[in-house]
């Protein structure tokens, strides 16, 4: 349907992302005040609608404009003005433009995480939804981008539900927890996490996601351990108490920035003499914080970053296999999006039909009232009756327009639109 195609062709995405631009370029384009940024971009580019999607790996403006090429070029120029320290030609290389259906397809790929630096990441789904709601709150979006983003959110959920793209962890921290979960019931283990930095936080978060109960966070700076422990309802302790906690631990995660061993082979041997069960240690530190000679102790299992990288890489390859399934879903949903746009065309035509019919009804009702001296009660009855007539007469038209729009019967839709546009007053 021509009208639906015309609407789709007015969609544009202007993107600065990790595939073409370094981090410092993405940071320079980033809008700290998204509402102000969207208003500025929409007004200066003469766009009708805009949504600004911003993450650590991308800044993208999605617009609907009656002059898509012009608006896209203006926003590209505005992005370029924010990038410093590069020649004009270099700046062009950092910015990608997608028009029409390609813009929609790009949005679907982004929210499905197949365009992410980490394929299968979960966070992008929530980030895109959050940014869309910011645009709604700022009053800068409308019905066309509403349909696009509503459909995108459905696509993101469907891809994750019907493929395994997010199932295998590729973060070292999540891979570490997943490795233990395969052979153990985390709810029954006594677990300690040594380190409260970024990796330590990810480990604790993953443990909580997998229902670990008995977890203690140890850190040199106790305040950091307390903050994380309270967030997840776990226990905390000072790193100075490590030995006493090792006596009870079944599972130990170590992730600190210390340049030396925190757990040494001879010290661990002493601890093990005081207990009757074995222990698993996972060292995610670089440099290593666990003496590698510990792997020679019979009742101890030691896993290092190298072991986890192999697992993470294997999982990454598994996720890549799922990309084709995701792309197939996206193609199906592009067709579904086209149908949604055809429905929008139908709604616009039907609104025009009802508006024109209502104008005629009111005009003829006023004529009748002038000719015949109706009282207030009779006027209300006549008003209700004429409304009922209009609704009954137009019901077949509504059904036909909706059906024709969904079946892409452009001629039928155009004829009905022209008929009601040309009714004389």
Q: Which residues are tagged catalytic? A: 56
Number of Cβ within a 10 Å radius of residue 320: 13
Query: Strand 190-194 and strand 214-219: pairing?
Result: parallel
Reduced to 3 states (helix: H, G, I; strand: E, B; else coil), residue 19 is coil
Residues in the chain: 425
CA angle 348–138–107, rounded 5-degree value: 65
Alpha-carbon gap, residue 350 to 359, rounded angstroms: 14
Q: What residue spans of 51-171 are helical by DSSP H?
A: 68-82, 88-94, 101-112, 123-138, 143-162
Phi, psi of 303 (to 5 degrees): -115, 140
C-alpha distance across the termini of the chain, in Å: 29
Alpha-carbon gap, residue 76 to 30, rounded angstroms: 13
What tokens does 92 get? 């062009």
* Residue keyed to tokens 């003499």: 273
Alpha-carbon gap, residue 242 to 222, rounded angstroms: 13
Alpha-carbon gap, residue 391 to 394, rounded angstroms: 5
Q: Which residues are registered as beta bridge partners of 64?
A: 11, 49
CA angle 11–17–23, rounded 5-degree value: 150
Alpha-carbon gap, residue 122 to 166, rounded angstroms: 7
Q: What residue spans of 163-259 are helical by DSSP H?
A: 172-181, 198-209, 222-232, 242-246
Reduced to 3 states (helix: H, G, I; strand: E, B; else coil), residue 96 is strand
């Amino acid at each position: 349907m021509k009208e639906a195609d015309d609407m789709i062709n007015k969609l544009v995405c202007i993107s600065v992302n990790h595939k073409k631009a370094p981090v410092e370029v993405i940071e320079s384009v980033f809008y700290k005040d998204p509402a102000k940024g969207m208003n500025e971009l929409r007004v200066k580019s003469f766009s009708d609608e805009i949504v600004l999607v911003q993450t650590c790996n991308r800044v993208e403006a999605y617009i609907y404009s009656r002059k898509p090429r012009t608006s896209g070029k203006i926003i590209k120029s505005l992005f370029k003005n924010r990038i410093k320290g590069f020649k004009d030609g270099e700046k062009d290389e950092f910015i990608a433009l997608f028009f029409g259906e390609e813009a929609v397809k790009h949005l679907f790929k982004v929210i499905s995480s197949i365009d992410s630096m980490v394929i299968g990441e979960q966070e992008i789904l929530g980030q895109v939804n959050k940014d869309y709601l910011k645009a709604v709150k700022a009053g800068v979006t409308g019905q066309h981008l509403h349909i696009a983003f509503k459909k995108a959110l459905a696509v993101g959920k469907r891809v994750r539900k019907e493929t395994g793209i997010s199932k295998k962890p590729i973060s070292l921290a999540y891979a570490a927890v997943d490795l233990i979960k395969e052979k153990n019931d985390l709810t029954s283990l006594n677990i300690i996490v040594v380190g409260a930095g970024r990796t330590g936080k990810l480990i604790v978060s993953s443990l909580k996601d997998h229902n670990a109960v008995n977890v203690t966070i140890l850190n040199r700076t106790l305040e950091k351990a307390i903050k994380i422990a309270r967030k997840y309802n776990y226990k905390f302790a000072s790193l100075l108490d490590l030995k006493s906690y090792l006596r009870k631990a079944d599972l130990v995660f170590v992730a600190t920035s210390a340049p030396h061993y925190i757990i040494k082979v001879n010290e661990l041997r002493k601890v093990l003499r005081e207990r009757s069960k074995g222990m698993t240690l996972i060292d995610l530190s670089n440099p290593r914080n666990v003496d590698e000679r510990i792997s020679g102790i019979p009742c101890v299992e030691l896993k290092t970053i190298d072991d986890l990288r192999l697992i993470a890489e294997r999982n990454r390859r598994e996720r890549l296999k799922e990309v084709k399934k995701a792309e197939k879903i996206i193609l199906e949903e592009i067709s579904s999006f086209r149908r949604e746009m055809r429905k929008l065309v139908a709604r616009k035509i039907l609104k025009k039909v009802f508006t024109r019919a209502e104008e005629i009804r009111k005009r003829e009702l006023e004529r009748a009232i002038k000719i015949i001296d109706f009282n207030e009660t009779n006027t209300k009855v006549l008003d209700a009756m004429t409304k009922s007539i209009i609704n009954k007469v137009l019901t077949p038209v509504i059904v036909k327009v909706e059906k024709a729009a969904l079946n892409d019967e452009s001629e039928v839709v155009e004829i009905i639109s022209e008929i009601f546009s040309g009714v004389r007053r």
